[in-house]
Amino acid sequence: MILVHTELLLLIQNKIMEQKPDPLMPALYGGLVIAAFWAVPGLNLINCFCCAGVLFGGLLSVYLYARDLRPDMEPLTMKDCLRLGLYSGVVASVAAVAINLMVTMVFGNVAIEMMERIIRKMKLEMPPEFEDMISEAKRQKISPAGAVVSIVVYLIPNTMFAALGGLIGWSLFKPKADDSTSR
Amino acid sequence: MRTRLILIGAVGLWCCLIVATPLLASGEGGLRIAGRALYVFFSPVCHQWDSHSFHLCGEKFPVCIRCSAIYFGFLCGIVLYPTLGRKIEQRFSARTIWIAAAAGMIIDVALSTAGISDSSAVTRVFTGGVFGILAAFVLTSLLQELIGSSSVQ
């Protein structure tokens, strides 16, 4: 009798609990941050370090989502974090290529030149391959087929590392065991 | 146990691809094309600078020394998780482990960027390896849970 009563209470509590916020907005912000890490000259060097910018974007989307959760809502789950990371990765792949295309169409290869100037100004010691990389980037032309290939090439690391960023977010922002809202 | 084997298999495959890339690229015909395709696959993940990479059969790894150390460290971390990782995970918070993992690498990069001391292959392997192992100590249980839940579904 008591068991049935408790189950009924839990059922009512679940019904009363508000729905979680929409994950699309945090994922969009996370994705745009990742895209900025790919597209902004100088900043894109961060991704040379095991896609750190992508990991950060996934983590950021989880942080933003966790911040929107109120105590009367269902608690954050690992699947939410993973989903947020994956969405961010997909958004980032499309947005990064779109931003790159727009910048190249409007300003030409000014982004590459800007990055070169920043690095020279900071007097960072870059390996000889850096010069080759810069000159190759300056030679690159934009094409619709190239853009599609870029999205596909970037989709795998973006979704993979952003999902990993989401998991890092879960390890940092998961509800504590003694939290009444946790499950 | 099954989920851990799947995880070791997946990360092991990733590490095998890293080692296979220069081996394939040093080959002829189709093998060489497969090697080049793997370089393209890994290109968004790492800068692939020749001077910052390990070499095998005269060809560079598709990721730099630090990234290689992170991935192989991660694999070691998953293997070590039942004996060492679980204890560390229980004793310290995830935040503390992440800070400890990243500290070495941040210091190494900062000192090198500031021109105080050059980061060498040894420091890259050490700091990257420590990061990979500690990252695995935090993420293994989560990834196992994830694989477990998806295989149940």
A121-167, pLDDT tens digit by residue?
666 666 666 667 666 666 666 677 777 877 887 888 889 889 999 99
* Residue range A13-37, pLDDT digits in tens: 555 566 788 889 999 999 999 988 8
Cα–Cα distance, B51 to B71 (Å, whole number): 19
* Residue range B53-64, pLDDT digits in tens: 899 999 999 999
Residues contacting B95, CB < 8 A, separation 6+: A172
The answer to whether residue A125 is domain-embedded is: yes
B46: amino acid identity, one letter: C
**Reported confidence tier of residue B7, pLDDT bands at 50, 70, 90:** very high
A183 in helix, strand or coil?
coil
Distances (CA, A) of B15 to A175, B5, B12, B55, B61: 33, 15, 5, 15, 11
Q: What ipTM is given for this predicted complex?
A: 0.76
Cα–Cα distance, B56 to A43 (Å, whole number): 31
Q: Which of B46, B98, B142 sits opposite A48 (nearest CB)?
A: B46
How far does B110 lie from chain A, in Å, by closest CA? Answer: 11
Of the candidate ranges A41-45, A178-182, B53-57, B90-94, the one whose mean pLDDT is the lowest: A178-182
* Residue range A46-64, pLDDT digits in tens: 776 777 888 999 999 999 9
Rg, C-alpha atoms of chain B: 17
Which residue segment(s) compose the domain that A135 sits in? 22-173
The answer to whether residue A31 is domain-embedded is: yes
Q: Which of A49, A133, A167 sits opposite B139 (nearest CB)?
A: A167
A20 in helix, strand or coil?
coil
Nearest partner of B142 among A82, A64, A143, A8, judged by Cα: A82
* Residue range A103-125, pLDDT digits in tens: 777 766 666 666 666 666 666 66
A150 neighbors A156 (Cβ within 8 angstroms): no
Cα–Cα distance, A130 to A142 (Å, whole number): 21
Nearest partner of A161 among A45, A30, A42, A73, judged by Cα: A30
The answer to whether residue A66 is domain-embedded is: yes
Token pair 């420590």 in the structure block, residue: B130
pLDDT on residue A181: 44
A161 neighbors A51 (Cβ within 8 angstroms): yes
Token pair 């499950």 in the structure block, residue: A183
Provide the whole-model pTM: 0.77
Looking at chain A from residue 148 to 167, which residues have their Cβ under 8 Å from any Cβ of chain B? Answer: 153-154, 156-158, 161, 164, 167
**From the candidates B11, B42, B47, which should be mutated to test the interface with A, based on the most A CB atoms within 10 A?**
B47
The number of folded domains in chain A is: 1
Is B19 exposed, middle or buried (CB count within 10 Å of its CB: 0-12, 13-18, 19+)?
A: middle
B38 neighbors B17 (Cβ within 8 angstroms): yes
Nearest partner of A112 among A131, A130, A136, A138, judged by Cα: A138
Task: Give the side-chain half-sphere CA count within 13 A for B8.
Answer: 12
Contact residues of B toward A, CB < 8 A: 40-41, 43-47, 49-52, 63-64, 66-67, 70, 94-95, 98, 109, 113, 115, 138-139, 142-143, 145-146, 149
Element (H, E) at B56: strand B55-56
Rg, C-alpha atoms of chain A: 21
So where are chain B's domains? 2-152
**Reported confidence tier of residue B132, pLDDT bands at 50, 70, 90:** very high
Residue B111 clears pLDDT 80, i.e. is over it: yes
Residue B41 clears pLDDT 80, i.e. is over it: yes
